Amino acid sequence: MTEKGYKRTLVTTALPYANGPVHIGHLAGVYVPADIYVRYLRLKKREVLFVGGSDEHGVPITIAAKKEGITPQDVVDKFHNLIKKSFEDFGISFDVYSRTTSKIHYETASDFFKKLYEKDCFIEKTSEQYYDEQVKQFLADRYITGTCPHCKNPNAYGDQCEACGTSLSPLDLIEPKSAISGSKPVLKETKHWYLPLENYQNWLEKWILKEHAEWKSNVYGQCKSWLDMGLQPRAVSRDLNWGIPLPIPDAEGKVLYVWFDAPIGYISNTKEIRPNDWELWWKNSETKLVHFIGKDNIVFHCIVFPSMLKADGSYILPDNVPANEFLNLESNKISTSKNWAVWLHEYLADFPEKQDILRYVLTANAPETKDNDFTWKDFQARNNSELVAIYGNFVNRTLVLTQKYFNGIVPERQEFTEYDKEVFAEIENGKLKIENHLENYHFREALKEAMNLARVGNKYLADTEPWKLAQTDMARVGTILNVSLQLCANLSIAFEPFLPFSSAKLRKMLNL
């Protein structure tokens, strides 16, 4: 039992979009912090489930497929497998990593929609949208190009002009063209279903602004500004042939909007691994639900998805949404389309088995409260002057001295001195600080405290100088190394959530 009477924790991570591999920005913003949190809970022997998966629907995937002359399923198969492998390689310890094209997800998302539909939670609206008569298909915003009314760029998209950055609606474009056939699209009426978010405005204001003032200030602030602007109805369906078909009559050619089906993936993936007791994880007030996401997803996880869960009425709501800001790369925004990123599979090709160094740097420099910058210079400095010079150095000296003076056997200890006792007090104190930071999603601070414990060890060895005492007082040398080895053992636990590969190695060296 923890605070607020919770008995178990369900941790979800944003579903990466399966139109490209994952990069360091994903890892720093979402997956490493979530993994740290989950590994910590497991060390505390708390009941936890860690759920992830790929988001495989939506227009960009259909565009990628068309460009390469393959099917959308081919696109998502390729990237789902690549993404899944990257997470495994970096020790992101999901209990389940599934996908939104799974059968169980189709059923879960359809049922979710149907229940809300039957409860009359949606409104229907008819509007005019561009239609390509040659291919007989409504055109998503991205499928329409034309001249930007602001800067006259002839290749603006229906949702945005990439030359001047203005957000557009397809109707703004001068001389619109279908990106599929090149023909001039016509306006045609189409019916869609909308979730009237404005109906949840009052409830959300109370639930977030009053009852969750403890959320991170970047999350709370973004929610507040959305609520201050006033919420609008949001379409839950669209005309597309890739996605989950609307499970109602007279909805031919319409699928669930990807934003609607994706978060339901958390529920589907839980069902996949816990078919018999998934409801315990989603419908029991003793379960703490935590969503790890990037800042671009705050509105979905704090406003839209909770409104869907509230509309259903049988689900719990998130206790916290510790969203991070963005990580930049060498002062520029990471961009999949511009190929400006450090891709995880490429990092591992260059630095095999060095996952922990990247996990360390991304946590030490995590964009927890503001955007941060990743640079290779900082990567090198943190590896050399922190991981190697502090943690590695202490462990190495302790093990080398134990080997040299005691043939690698843990020496007997004598009476502890005041200094020895201080080291144990530091361990206890460090443990409390680390735990307190982790409970509050302060991962950088927690890591700093773990590194401070390694500093304590280095100082202890430098002050007690066992290599000098070896000529006069071997019994004292034994006690010093006994204390140092105990500290090493504690460090393997303190660092386990952050550097799981190194901790496993260290435990093996210590024969724990």
Cα gap 193→83, rounded to integer Å: 32
Alpha carbon 140 to its chain centroid, in Å, reads: 28
- Does the footprint of Zn ion cover residue 153 (CB under 5 A)? yes
Cα gap 97→53, rounded to integer Å: 5
Q: Is 344 left (phi over 0), alpha (psi -120 to 50) or beta?
A: alpha
Q: How many H helices and E strands in the chain?
A: 20, 16
Q: How far is the CB of 173 from Zn ion (least distance, A)?
A: 10
Q: Which stretches within 30-102 are classed as H helix?
A: 32-43, 59-68, 72-89
Q: How far is the CB of 19 from Zn ion (least distance, A)?
A: 24
Stretch that binds Zn ion, among 96-104, 146-154, 403-411, 465-473 (CB under 5 A): 146-154
Q: How far is the CB of 168 from Zn ion (least distance, A)?
A: 8
One-letter amino acid of 246: L
Residue 66 CB neighbour total at 10 angstroms: 15
Cα gap 378→373, rounded to integer Å: 9
Q: How far is the CB of 383 from Zn ion (least distance, A)?
A: 43
Stretch that binds Zn ion, among 56-64, 144-152, 431-439, 476-484 (CB under 5 A): 144-152
Which of 24, 148, 236, 447: binder of Zn ion (CB under 5 A)? 148
Stretch that binds Zn ion, among 145-153, 186-194, 331-339, 460-468 (CB under 5 A): 145-153
Supply 510's token pair: 């210590």
Write the interaction track for Zn ion spanning residues 154-173; mark x where CB under 5 A is met and - where it is not: -------x-xx---------
Q: How far is the CB of 124 from Zn ion (least distance, A)?
A: 34
Q: How far is the CB of 183 from Zn ion (least distance, A)?
A: 23
- Does the footprint of Zn ion cover residue 150 (CB under 5 A)? yes
Contact 41, 48 (CB under 8 A): yes
Q: Quick one: 58 or 146, whose CB is closer to Zn ion?
A: 146
Contact 186, 131 (CB under 8 A): yes
Residues in contact with Zn ion, total (CB under 5 A)?
Answer: 7
Q: How far is the CB of 459 from Zn ion (least distance, A)?
A: 60
Q: Quick one: 156 or 195, whose CB is closer to Zn ion?
A: 156
Whole-number Cα distances in Å, 483 to 388, 412, 418, 430, 487: 21, 10, 12, 16, 6
Stretch that binds Zn ion, among 38-46, 153-161, 174-182, 503-511 (CB under 5 A): 153-161
- Does the footprint of Zn ion cover residue 174 (CB under 5 A)? no
- Per-position b or e across 37-58, b if 16+ CB within 10 A of its CB: bbbbbeeeebebbbbbbbbbbb
Residue 202 CB neighbour total at 10 angstroms: 10
Q: How far is the CB of 161 from Zn ion (least distance, A)?
A: 3
Which of 70, 123, 151, 389: binder of Zn ion (CB under 5 A)? 151
Stretch that binds Zn ion, among 151-159, 190-198, 263-271, 483-491 (CB under 5 A): 151-159
Q: Quick one: 166 or 320, whose CB is closer to Zn ion?
A: 166
Which residues of the shown chain bind Zn ion in the complex (CB under 5 A)? Answer: 148, 150-151, 153, 161, 163-164
